[in-house]
Amino acid sequence: MTRILLAAVSSAALLALGACGDGGAGGSSQGPRAGIWAAGSSTVFPFANRVAENFQRTSGGASPRVESLGTGGGIQAFCQGVGPSTPDVANASRPMKKSEYELCQKNGVTEIVEIKIGFDGIVIATARSGNSFNFRLQDLYMGLAKEVPGANGQMVANPATTWNQINPALPNQRIQVYGPPPTSGTRDAFLELGMAPGAALIPALKTIKDDDGDRFETLAHTLREDQLWIDSGENDNAIVQTLTRTPGSLGVFGFSFLEQNLDTVKPETINGVAPSADTIADGSYPLARSLYIYVKKQHVGVTPGLEQFVMEFMSEAAAGRGGYLQDRGLVPLPETELAAQRAVAQALTVMAAPTK
């Protein structure tokens, strides 16, 4: 319901902003906007939305507009230029890519502040009534990659249809996994943290990695297209609901959504480690990741309340241990790291160009 209301408010706000200036790609005009606009990751969405609610309640200003477009979609919108028709903040469940940073620079978004807000994990889950799995990283690759090594070591179309064909220790259950689409930072992180490391553990693929890194990356980052991996949109809650309606299926989504739905779904272990706040924070869970917000410094002082919104996001009451974002499923940064990121937010320190 909250997302529906936000979408309606967003449409009205977008029409109202038209009078403030064109703000097109590469534009530098920026008139005042009634409220803050943040867009991007579906994983960061509930955290940004909670901060927006608290900010509006305490500031008395216009309610910030928060949109769930996926990390890629949010950064694309953010990087279109400077002005009221572009977001002030991009929410991201992975670091900004070099190509995205270059798009921003090309379009005049030359001062970007990168702030790490906390941690999350990518979970592989099933309905609570389903079988239990202890995946190895290589099982993820062999089950979900479009191409796998054949009998002669050559890459072939993935023939596996059940999990025990990949690893006899896994259940004799069909491969059917619902996960995020290509625009999602959750998908990007799953490829980087799960599929690629899993591929590197397979001898034939390790040889390809050593000989041709680009080919290895393509193979490691290409999921099945035969409906055994199913793109399910940017709404992680929809994946959770699908698991309860589709017995035997698995889902890939963020840890924060798991915590909110433990009455209906359960996480599976990776290399014997279950996702939890502790295993994500200490890095022992293999699919742990960092979450970010990107702030358009050129909008600070122009969009009313933007700087205060960012500081609310990084406040002890929000991002600290025991803060209200932890109640929503965010795994807080260690105190020293949170203090360092808060200093970045306060100084609005411009990020360096990503290397990849």
What element of type H or E holds 212? Answer: none
Cα–Cα distance measured from residue 223 to residue 303, given in angstroms and rounded to the nearest whole number: 41
Q: What is the DSSP string of 231-244?
A: E--S-HHHHHHHHH
Q: What is the pLDDT of residue 32?
A: 62
Neighbours of 318 (CB within 10 A): 23
Q: What is the pLDDT of residue 311?
A: 97
Q: Which of the residues in the chain have pLDDT under 50?
A: 1-30
Q: What is the pLDDT of residue 117?
A: 98
Q: Which residues of 307-317 are buried (b: 16+ CB within 10 A; e: fewer)?
A: bebbebbbbee
Cα–Cα distance measured from residue 98 to residue 95, given in angstroms and rounded to the nearest whole number: 9
Q: Which residues pair with 125 in a beta bridge?
A: 251, 267
What would the two tokens of residue 239 be? 């994946």
Q: What is the pLDDT of residue 31?
A: 53
Please state the φ and ψ torsions of residue 179, each to the nearest 5 degrees. -150, 180
User: How many helices (DSSP H) and strands (DSSP E) are in the chain?
Assistant: 16, 13
Which pLDDT tens digit goes with each residue over 212-265?
A: 999 999 999 999 999 999 998 767 778 888 898 898 999 998 888 888 888 999
Neighbours of 74 (CB within 10 A): 29
Which pLDDT tens digit goes with each residue over 84-94?
A: 999 999 999 99
Q: What is the pLDDT of residue 329?
A: 85
**Please, what is the Cα angle at 321 between 122 and 5, to 5 degrees?**
65
Strands 112-127 and 288-296: what pairing?
antiparallel
Helix, coil or strand: residue 309? helix
What would the two tokens of residue 80 be? 């279109």
Query: Which CA distances in Å does 262 have to 4, 10, 73, 256, 336?
Result: 24, 31, 29, 10, 31
Q: What is the pLDDT of residue 234?
A: 67
Q: Which residue has the tokens 């023939």?
A: 159
Q: First vs last Cα of the chain: how many Å apart?
A: 38
Q: Which residues make Cβ contacts (< 8 Å) with residue 275, sequence separation at least 6?
A: 121, 123, 255, 258, 267, 285, 287, 288
CA-based Rg of the chain, rounded to a whole angstrom? 21
Q: Which residues of 177-188 are buried (b: 16+ CB within 10 A; e: fewer)?
A: bbbbeebbbbbb
Residue among 177, 189, 269 at smallest CA distance from 224: 177
Residue among 179, 159, 161 at smallest CA distance from 230: 179
Which stretches within 165-291 are classed as H helix?
185-190, 196-200, 203-211, 213-220, 236-245, 255-259, 277-281
